[in-house]
Amino acid sequence: MIILVLGGGVYYYLKKTGLLKTGAEAIIGCQNSKDISRFFGAPGSNLVSYNLFGNEVTVNKILTSYLDEIQKEVVAAKTGYNFSRIEGYNMRSKIGGGGRSLHSWGIAIDINPEANPYQLGNYGPPQTDLPGPVIDIFKKYGFAWGGDWPGERDAMHFEWYGAGLSGQVVDKNSSQKILSVATDVNGAGSPNSNGDFDWIVPFGSHTITSKSKGYNDNSFSVSLACFSDTKMDIAMEPLASNIPGSISGKVRLSNNYPLLVPANISLDGRLIGVSTLKGDYYIPNVHEGKHKVDAKVMFFPGGTSNTQLVPGENIKNVDIIIGK
């Protein structure tokens, strides 16, 4: 699993889609304890100690990559803000009840509570000394800010909502996995392993792009629910010069003796299957160019046929004689 540190605007996504609800830790659809535990582990698990602006805090290990980037950007912003007190993991209930606080999973942090108090009934601006750039940087990396919650302003409070996305990059026509491919999310390089990907990103909308030699670039948007694990394949359309064809034919013994067992069939030196007992074989998804088809049955000398395909061609009657 790869944690992708992506810029974005989760708060703006929440506002646009109407998912933002008043009240601390109250994003609609993001408060199911079972979903949270499935994604992050049980409350109190997968925790690490992390130095955040000089404060040792305990957080879920998934957050550390995001916090690294947040610290870099806040330092670069040169706000001069003094992070004198930061709190992370805390096994407790939500303020006002309604289940466990997200602090219980180590995915919420409170910054300088005395200067940024919880304000029940405040529908005006929150009381806060947090500089705007600090708030914006946290939001950029997937944190919702409690100061945005009218009626229950909680300016100290930031909480992170994530999602998982995994699958394979495949050929649209053959469904075969593409082993050499470059992938990115929202313009940021996002690693894959021979076409397999397994990413953690902030929930919301993301633009996925994939590029591979012989294929049209593929770019599309996907919306991920908070704490969800979405499995999907990325299908790429081959270029006209990359559309595969097929090779088929029959394996025969010399002197027309019948085959007693299926023949092993290889394409360009790689074993790809066996023939029928009657000797018929079929090789799908063969790309353009020159190819060598080999057939072999135990105790008999093998046979070879050479052929050449143009894109999308299906060549038949490529027969192979063995046992000469």
Work out whether strand 157-160 and strand 108-111 pair parallel, antiparallel, or are unpaired.
antiparallel
Q: What percent of the chain has pLDDT over 90?
A: 69
pLDDT for residue 26 is more than 50: no
* pLDDT digit string, tens, across residues 186-220: 888 888 888 999 999 988 899 999 999 999 999 99
Categorize the per-residue pLDDT at 5 as very low, low, confident or very high, splitting at 50, 70 and 90.
low
* pLDDT digit string, tens, across residues 250-259: 999 988 888 8
State the number of CA atoms in the 13 A half-sphere of 1 facing the CB.
13
The encoded tokens of residue 168 equal: 């394979």
pLDDT for residue 241 is more than 90: no
- Structural domains of the chain, with CATH: 2-160 (3.30.1380), 163-240 (2.60.40.1120), 244-322 (2.60.40.2070)
pTM of the model: 0.68
Q: How far is CA 57 from the centre of its chain?
A: 28
Give dist(CA 172, CA 185) in Å, integer.
Answer: 20
Locate all alpha helices (DSSP H) within 26-130, ordered by sequence.
Answer: 33-40, 64-77
